[in-house]
A and B are shown apart, each in its own frame.
Chain A
């Protein structure tokens, strides 16, 4: 533990060298909760299997086998196309460029379709914004197309009980709605940020027909204060263009720009450019300081974290401003106190920022306009404008101002609104005063919703005109000024839905659209582009040629000049309005989670099963609480919450005024004392199947300030409220090489079991993570060299000699993962689930350690126990050339290929699980149940979570399955295959074209999903990018000393921490 390059921990128990963990680890598989679960009466009840049923199944099993053996092969019929669409070749994927848009969330994408159905989303490298990167939300969006709870057609909701009745046709709906409209009607369209210029045109047409129409736009996780401050200071109400790639020094006050803030895919790619170590001898990297209370994704990637209470943010920013102003010779403003430690650290940060003037950047997620004005002034003093912040190509990804929404609530209460149209927003859930909204909304005579699936606001509406899914729609988006992209349908409408824009055009009797046309909105859209976009370019002389190219590329960029003025603002006035720290004992910070946003992704099972990057929990929101170490191995947690020694945890009852919520608690390193944190977006009350009863809704605890802007923190009380019997946290499931103490000596846990000192497996110091400060990089390189030499020495003997020849020719697949580029965003985890048909198992199964993810991201802490740094390690099958799993399989279901792949053959596997026991990386997954109903026998098809159909059993949901990958059945092991289906496809392409294989032929799903390029896959025998990456002296193999000869290379984590800040 004393070695500074290898002192890592994953959580409380191993930091404390907890004997319970040692015992657990000594058994390799975490057993206690399973025993608990099996002895739990409720579980037996849930599975509804009693002894008699078991005998019945057994009887069925025998009978069924006889039937199967005696019965003839069923006749399969193939139905061909009458006229085959030109672009479809059965068995070959077709890609279409499109855009993912959900409120202000944006990503330019390529949609992979097979036989006409979208099955996977890839990033679009032509985009200047997302540059081919994606996020977990983008990857999961394809599953939402096949959501079984989508509206099947237009409908009417009426009566006390809000009963749904189908409308027979869209004409009926149009007639009823038009009957309620006249030219004097007061109409309000409620939206989140709208990125589409053509949709805005449609709004304008509607407003021309009905002049008393207003569009009210707000964002549930708001950046309104930035918009308002920029309007005041620069005359431009817009999110500026942040250039994280140009900043040497970044300070973020709560803005989680790598995870959730405004445009995380873009910012992560830009920021990581400044963090990759290209040349070890002249290593240079930027610095990032995160000022926050709970560990955010950005905070976990930061070099230093400064801990402040949520209420202290304004005061902290003023402190930073005053220090910078003093250094730069500007006017100071009156200041409130921040905690002494933060005060000292902020002064150091100020000096660093000033030293990096012109190359520094300060951002904040504060939703107080006055605070954002001070942030603007700080950036102005630092000379950020024109370098790290510009107003050309400014971002349009947050446009909403929720005070407008508060105004609307007042207006509706007075009965002044005749019709409200809800377009892609859910204010009855995600406003802090959602109940106020709901009662005011009831005063509106006619309420129409465009929602595609049921939500809280839609149930309050009178008419539902369901919108298409974005994969069924035409459309466009302008995520940054001048950077346009198109949305094109990749599948025919699954249900009788209609694009919302067409509904509006129909109600406004637009002369510009022919609703009877085959694709009316395509005509409208292309006309709009003909009139507006075509003239902006000179490359094409005819519009059809321009349109085709824009549609093919998915994006269209034009230069955009800044119209903003120089900074002007009264900082004294703004500073005077900034409040000091609150005096309450405990403050909570509500944050947007990386996976489910403000609740608009809360019904997506892939995202719900994706572990939170920091807490490593699934299916719900959890309360992060502080841990105090006494300087040695003993710890206490805040109010005894968080995990106990057996890995159980306790519910926490949160009380804020009249609002209460009870969620499980997790002890989190780096959580400030006397503060707690919890994610928003959970606890949806009216939501489609998968999102039901997941977590608790904390929006009601948010508050609104005097400007009508939402504040995402509160003063609360927290108390312990019983044990969580289904704590689904994947933190300790896959522990590698844990150390413990025996007779005063530090040993590895498996060393105790083996009892042989000096044996290969008994090294006390395992190579899992290497890390160093950038200033000490030379020492790290030496250390890695030394360790690898030692491993080489241990590894001179091999059990499998004589394969070198085979590996040396043809291909030898390998991967390189740059831990310095990995931000832990988990886009790869979800991409892997989508590509490889990895089943969703649900909370209960995750709790029982039955999670199925092939690619997990291990999160390790290192450094200062009170304020640690974090390193993320994507961990999947290492495709060891001396694989320990292969030689224990009694049926050779897992074996090695001449191309270096560790092959898993499902049809050969009999489920002994010896391989999983023998895998030192813990990457093998066992199908305890038939999670995707791959099997013939209904006896294997449990509904594990009490649902009618297991996730992925419905025929609609199954449309998302990748036909190139076998759907595994119960009783077999599965694991990462290095996307062998993509390898085979790439090889075939090269063979068919009669050429050598190149880098672009084979890319794994995790590699293409990664926004920062942390993962490189390729042929070790080739000369591509992988070859280059393998040369870095920072590379190492995980557990190299046990002689598994893995094919995945990691390069060490380098930080740029300033230790003085923690003094």
Chain B
């Protein structure tokens, strides 16, 4: 859940949405641990837990009147009632997700005839998440950053350098290794792009 740790309490999308994830998996945000025996807890117990956390995270917005014009200050019992209303409102949104999966809206879609593998790009190619997904750590609502079009993919394959030297797998490409070792600086190869090891060929992605 650490990608959401920046979304602070009181945020429009923050707490309530985040608690749905906690409710789904049984995660205690206060201790930073998964709750033991979560699936056997009664609804009452879960409700009590969540309400206490929401309360602990509740940030008073300067005690202004939310129903009126926002100018009138509210105090005392009214302020507490407002807090309880907010806690209940958030709990209502969360309760349906206790031990249930959350439907994520998939926004990065590729057609069925395209094969994409994260391990190839992230583990092997050492491509940053942000290269394709944009600055996700700053997005309150995630949006599609790159066009994910074929032209965009292909262009990246033209420009991106292969992690060539450190991985013995690529020793099969003897010619490039030889060229990299040339003394003549003008002929010496400085990098190998994905294109040069066949990264533009149809069946790298379509099969």
Binding site for B on A (CB under 8 A): 73, 75-83, 91, 805, 808-811, 895, 897-899, 901, 903-908, 964-967, 977, 980-981, 984, 987-988, 990-992, 994-997, 1019, 1021-1022
Contacts and interface: CB of A to CB of B under 8 A. Distances in A.
B103 interface: yes
Contacts of B203: 897, 901, 903-905, 977, 980
A1021 B172 contact: yes
Contacts of B123: 992
A1001 to B, nearest CB: 10
A82 B169 contact: no
A991 B102 contact: no
A809 B196 CA distance: 11
A494 B200 CA distance: 42
Contact of A76 (B99, B109, B113, B117): B109
B198 A897 contact: yes
A75 B104 CA distance: 10
Contacts of B105: 75-78
A984 B101 contact: no
Nearest to B199: A898
Given A810-B197, A895-B202, A992-B123, A805 B175 contact: yes
A808 B115 contact: no
Contacts of B104: 77-80
A906 B206 CA distance: 8
A893 to B, nearest CB: 8
27 contacts: A76-B105, A76-B109, A77-B103, A80-B102, A81-B101, A83-B25, A91-B118, A809-B173, A809-B175, A809-B176, A810-B197, A895-B201, A895-B202, A898-B198, A903-B203, A905-B203, A906-B113, A965-B207, A967-B112, A977-B207, A981-B115, A988-B119, A991-B120, A994-B167, A997-B172, A1019-B172, A1022-B172
Nearest to A985: B117
Interface string B161-176: 0000011110111111
B124 interface: yes
B55 interface: no
B175 A82 contact: no
A810 B103 contact: no
Nearest to A994: B167
Given A994-B169, A996-B168, A809 B119 contact: no
B4 interface: no
A930 to B, nearest CB: 14
Interface string B93-108: 0000001111111100
A994 B168 contact: yes
A992 B119 contact: yes
B24 interface: yes
A129 B123 CA distance: 40
B175 A995 contact: no
A988 B120 contact: yes
Contacts of A898: 197-198, 201
Nearest to B125: A991
Given A82-B99, A897-B202, A995-B168, 13 more contacts: A75-B105, A78-B104, A81-B101, A898-B198, A903-B206, A964-B115, A964-B207, A967-B112, A988-B119, A990-B169, A991-B120, A994-B167, A994-B168
Q: Give the secondary structure class of A's interface.
A: loop
Contacts of B207: 964-966, 977, 980-981, 984
A618 to B, nearest CB: 27
Identify the 10 closest CB pairs spanning chains A and B, nearest first. Answer: A903-B203, A905-B202, A76-B106, A898-B198, A897-B201, A77-B103, A991-B124, A78-B104, A980-B207, A78-B106
Nearest to A836: B207
Contacts of A991: 120, 124, 167, 169
Nearest to B98: A82
B187 to A, nearest CB: 15
A985 B120 CA distance: 10
Nearest to A988: B120
A967 B206 CA distance: 11
B89 interface: no
Contacts of B169: 987, 990-991, 994-997
Contacts of A967: 112
A924 to B, nearest CB: 16
B172 A82 contact: no
Contacts of B166: 994
B25 A79 contact: no
Given A897-B201, A980-B207, A810 B173 contact: yes
Nearest to B118: A91
Nearest to B167: A994
Contacts of A980: 203, 207
A808 B174 CA distance: 9
B109 A899 contact: no
B114 to A, nearest CB: 8
A981 B171 CA distance: 22
A861 to B, nearest CB: 37
A1063 to B, nearest CB: 55
A811 B172 contact: yes
Interface string B20-55: 000011000000000000000000000000000000
Given A77-B106, A898-B198, A810 B172 contact: yes
B204 interface: yes
A957 to B, nearest CB: 18
Contacts of A984: 115, 117, 204, 207
A86 to B, nearest CB: 14
A899 B173 CA distance: 11
Contacts of A981: 115, 207
A977 B204 CA distance: 12
Contact of A907 (B101, B113, B120, B201): B113
A810 B162 CA distance: 14
Contacts of A808: 175
Contacts of A987: 169
A965 B207 CA distance: 6
B201 A903 contact: yes
A903 B198 contact: no
Contacts of A80: 101-102, 104
A966 B103 contact: no
A964 B197 CA distance: 22
A897 B201 CA distance: 6
Given A77-B103, A810-B173, A966-B112, A903 B168 contact: no
A318 B118 CA distance: 68
Contacts of B117: 91, 984, 988
Contacts of A78: 103-106
B174 to A, nearest CB: 6
Contacts of B118: 91
A467 to B, nearest CB: 31
Contacts of A83: 25
Nearest to A906: B113
B166 to A, nearest CB: 8
A903 B103 contact: no
Contacts of A811: 172
Nearest to A979: B207
B77 to A, nearest CB: 39
Nearest to B150: A907
A208 to B, nearest CB: 39
A906 B109 CA distance: 19
B202 to A, nearest CB: 4
A1021 B171 CA distance: 12
A1027 to B, nearest CB: 14
Nearest to A895: B202
Contacts of A75: 105
A996 B174 CA distance: 12
B159 to A, nearest CB: 19
Contacts of B101: 79-82
Interface string B146-190: 000000000000000000001111011111100000000000000
Contacts of A809: 172-176
A997 B169 CA distance: 7
Given A80-B101, A82-B24, A899-B198, A73 B119 contact: no
Nearest to A902: B203
